[in-house]
Amino acid sequence: MSRKSILKPLMLSTVLGMSAMSLSGCGYNNLQAQDEQVTAAWSEVVNQYQRRDDLVPNLVKVVKQYADQEQEVFTQVAAARSRAGSIQLTPEALNDPQAMENYQAAQAEMTGALSRLMAVSERYPELKSDKLFQDLQAQLEGTENRITVARNRYIQEVQSYNTTVRQFPTNITAKVFGMDTKPNFTVENETQISTAPDVDFGE
């Protein structure tokens, strides 16, 4: 075996090793890891919103048994559910601030519609005492809490990722590889981050 044929793989190995060290040193691996964490956190947000969406038909069905005349509320819930279901925010679309804003607006509309649906129970004592309705109330309350936890985790992951993207020297690496800051959930105050939306369950 010639000396040239021996040196060639050694040189290739050295170049690859130096490239890996360079990427690691410039924060590339960290950026990729944090990007994956953001994606995973977002998947959990979507999962919990889907869990809530799946409860809606059963909630409407049991409420209708006692309050069929509340057609306006049922129409609002159906419209809100349709709009929320029509907006599918993929991990790739998370970099689009307008898409994030539209998704938040649709989910907020769903929260408001559910609040009005649950408030109906205050006018119908028999509905409030229905065992299935009580079970669905508990499931909805638990789901709203899970949504809050998932959103909070996502907010934290995006903040961490965005900080890395903007810090020197990783900001140079991020720019080279086209990794921009991601839009986050917007909240009016810190309480909204840590508190589930009020769905008015009554006493």
pLDDT tens digit sequence for 61-109: 999 999 999 999 999 999 999 999 999 888 888 899 999 999 999 999 9
pLDDT in tens, 20-29: 434 455 789 9
Are 102 and 74 a contacting pair, CB within 8 Å?
no
Distance CA 82, CA 75 (A): 11
Confidence of residue 126 (pLDDT cuts 50, 70, 90): very high
Are 62 and 72 a contacting pair, CB within 8 Å?
no
CA atoms within a 13 Å half-sphere pointing along the CA-CB vector of 18 = 6
Res 90: pLDDT: 87
Distance CA 55, CA 118 (A): 13
Closest CA to 122 of 67, 172, 162, 163: 67
Residue bearing the bigger pLDDT, 14 or 134: 134
124: left (phi over 0), alpha (psi -120 to 50) or beta: beta
Cα–Cα distances in angstroms (integers) from residue 4 to residues 12, 14, 18, 49, in the given order = 12, 15, 21, 61
Cα–Cα distances in angstroms (integers) from residue 138 to residues 110, 135, 142, 148, in the given order = 18, 5, 6, 16
Q: Give the pTM.
A: 0.79
Give SS3 for 18. helix
Q: Which value, in Å, is the radius of gyration of the alpha carbons in the chain? A: 24
